[in-house]
Amino acid sequence: MMRYTVDPITYLVTVFDDNEVPFLVQPDYPNYDKFDSVEEATIWAEAFIEAQKPDSLFYAPNGKNLPAESKPTQAELEAALAKRFGDE
């Protein structure tokens, strides 16, 4: 089971899987917007962990006040692969 920590001063998010070595160390949003509080970093960390589940439909938000982006459907993935490799 994944777990996370949020540094109370820097708001650094650290995400762990089933061991003590983190697989994600996130100092801010992926687009470099800064977390402004422990609560904001916590919300993002929980969204990131939820996004790792196979049945999750959304990614964690890329930046402050941005909506979470939808993950591609299987049909969209197949269409992208066909477009990329179908003409070779």
Q: What is the pLDDT along the chain (88 residues), one digit of tens a residue?
A: 899 999 999 999 999 998 889 999 999 999 999 999 999 999 999 999 999 999 999 999 999 999 999 999 989 989 989 988 875 5
* pLDDT at res. 87: 57
Domain span holding position 45: 3-85
Tokens, residue 88: 């070779």
Does residue 30 sit in helix, strand or coil?
coil
* pLDDT at res. 41: 98
* pLDDT at res. 7: 98
Tokens, residue 22: 């983190």
Phi, psi of 23, rounded to the nearest 5 degrees: -105, -5
- Whether the Cβ atoms of residue 71 and residue 62 lie closer than 8 Å to each other: no
Count of domains observed in the chain: 1
Tokens, residue 23: 């697989």
The amino acid occupying position 31 is: N
